[in-house]
Amino acid sequence: DSFTAGFIKGVFSGLTAEQSLKLGNACAACTVTKMGARTAMPRSSEVSKFIG
């Protein structure tokens, strides 16, 4: 699940809980814009661009 992946990455990167949740949400939002499972997982650059 892309939300969980983003959240866990945030936690292990030292982000706060709120920042980690935002990262998870951004990962999930980017994922649902594409078809497929593995192919829909966003790259870090896509998530960063989405967050702004």
Domain boundaries, the chain: 2-42
Q: What is the pLDDT of residue 13?
A: 97
The pTM score is 0.86
Query: Please, are residues 28 and 3 in contact by the beta-carbon 8 Å criterion?
Result: yes
- Each residue's pLDDT tens digit, 1-52: 899 999 999 999 999 999 999 999 999 999 998 888 778 888 899 999 999 8
Q: Which of 41, 1, 40, 3 is nearest to 21 (CA)?
A: 3
